[in-house]
Amino acid sequence: MRHYVYGGFERFWHWAQAVLILFLALTGFEIHGSIHFFGFEQAVAYHSTAAYALMVLIAFAGFWHLTTGEWRQYVPTRENLLKQADYYLSGIFRGAPHPTKKTPLSKLNPLQKLVYAGLKTFLIPLMVGSGLVYMFYRYPQRYSVVSLKVGGLEWVAIAHTAGAFLLLAFVITHLYLITTGQTLTSNLKAMITGYEDLPDEDPHGPAASA
């Protein structure tokens, strides 16, 4: 049965966040000297602009989650957690049925809830916080230079870089899991159109997407 699963703002937030994260990764790699594309100074400027845009997006998304109650989608649960992990590790390759059912009111399986909760409560705050400290460690005012007095940027750089690699690993994994829906492109189409074909009520039927 066809259901409207992802609303307009949810889809906009998803794609805008994906583009900004990938662009931040690109410019971040150039700042570290791993690639050469824009030039160092331009990469720094683009990275800072994209970071501000991401923070604005996060603020709007946070307001949307709170006012619509969508934050409940990310509350972790232990129910079927091990079954879900086993499904991704081996069951999916054996054609096993999906252990959880996806509905418009329950879009995420237990493993997704755990991962996304970690993203929202730990990894994203780590990236934003370390990025802000890095940007404003020393910044010019009209008549002076103000310092946050954090004692050094080494730990900030390590935290920010480690978080960036974790975030990039999530994106790569997410891209793979997109292909594990009912068809190769069903999850992708759902996040573009908002509509997804979900099975009829059957507690044992395959359903949940990546």
pLDDT at 104: 84
Angle between helix 40-68 and helix 8-31 axes, rounded to 10 deg = 150
What is this structure's pTM?
0.82
* Residue 193, in any domain of the structure: yes
Domain contains 186: yes
Give the distance, in angstroms, between the CA of residue 18 and the centroid of all CA atoms in the same chain. Answer: 7
Average confidence (pLDDT) per 10 residues, the chain, 210 residues: 92 96 94 89 93 96 95 91 91 87 88 94 94 73 51 80 93 89 87 87 46
List all residues 6 or more positions away from 203 whose beta carbon is below 8 Å from its beta carbon.
Answer: 101
C-alpha distances in angstroms, 85 versus 12, 89, 99?
29, 6, 10
Residue 72 lies in a domain: yes
What is the pLDDT at residue 121?
94
Q: How many domains does the chain have?
A: 1
Residue 30 lies inside a defined structural domain of this protein: yes
Q: For position 58, which CATH number holds?
A: 1.20.950.20
What is the extent of the structural domain holding 92?
Answer: 2-197
